[in-house]
């Protein structure tokens, strides 16, 4: 039943927006009355919490294959790592918003739900720093660059390719700034 509730909440978020998830709508979709949801989740925020954890855990599950196949050249690797997260993000706006933006008033993930995101961040930082002399500040700028491009995609080119088309150029600008070696000619 918890799975059905989460699936219903995700469906509502994708159809109407993340902040439009209501207990009444979720309950209707799973064939119960709203008060019955409390036997599975303490509150609507608990549903968001489970969704947050699920989103980050799912992204984390994609990293093994990425890490196993990423190119050994630092510049190619940062392009592959960046494209992987970018593609994951733009594939599902409500999921990205829950993972990376504070769009639900009053929602703050629990320590347990936050754990996968912390593991992903630490893993990402290790992987990116392993590419060369990348400082903590450089890593933060890389994250902000990706987040900004993703936000521009959703705000100004949803479903389009204009922002996606400049991802490589933006990553090259960052790679130049941090001194990653250029691709061999």
Domains and CATH numbers, the chain: 1-41 (1.10.10.60), 45-178 (1.10.357.10)
* pLDDT of 185 above 80: no
pLDDT at residue 122, as a whole number: 95
User: Which two tokens mark 87?
Assistant: 């593609």
pLDDT at residue 155, as a whole number: 96
Contacts of 36-40 spanning 24+ positions with Cβ under 8 A = 37/5, 40/1, 40/2, 40/5
CB contact at 8 A, 106 and 45: yes
- Please state the pTM of the whole predicted model: 0.93
- The predicted-structure confidence for 59-104, as pLDDT tens digits, reads as follows 999 999 999 999 999 999 999 999 999 999 999 999 999 999 999 9
pLDDT at residue 120, as a whole number: 97
pLDDT at residue 184, as a whole number: 78
Give the pLDDT band (50/70/90) at residue 50: very high
Average pLDDT, the chain: 96
CB contact at 8 A, 121 and 56: no
Give the pLDDT band (50/70/90) at residue 116: very high
pLDDT at residue 86, as a whole number: 98
pLDDT at residue 67, as a whole number: 94
pLDDT at residue 134, as a whole number: 92
- The predicted-structure confidence for 8-49, as pLDDT tens digits, reads as follows 999 999 999 999 999 999 999 999 999 999 999 999 999 999
Listed in sequence order, the residues at least 6 apart from 30 whose beta carbon sits closer than 8 Å to its beta carbon are 1, 4, 5, 8
């Amino acid at each position: 039943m918890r799975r059905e509730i989460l699936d219903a909440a995700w469906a509502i978020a994708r159809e109407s927006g993340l902040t439009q998830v209501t207990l009444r709508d979720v309950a209707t979709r799973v064939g119960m009355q709203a008060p019955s949801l409390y036997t599975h989740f303490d509150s609507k925020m608990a549903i968001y919490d489970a969704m947050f954890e699920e989103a980050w855990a799912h992204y984390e599950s994609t990293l093994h294959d990425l890490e196993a196949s990423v190119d050994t050249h630092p510049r190619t690797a940062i392009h592959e790592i960046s494209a992987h997260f970018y593609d994951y993000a733009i594939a599902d706006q409500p999921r990205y918003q829950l993972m990376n933006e504070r769009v639900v008033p009053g929602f703050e993930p629990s320590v347990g739900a936050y754990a996968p995101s912390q593991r992903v961040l630490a893993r990402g930082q290790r992987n990116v720093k392993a590419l060369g002399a990348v400082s903590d500040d450089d890593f933060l700028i890389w994250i902000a660059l990706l987040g900004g491009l993703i936000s521009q995609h959703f705000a100004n080119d949803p479903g389009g390719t204009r922002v996606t088309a400049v991802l490589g150029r933006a990553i090259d600008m960052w790679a130049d700034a941090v001194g990653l070696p250029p691709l061999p000619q």
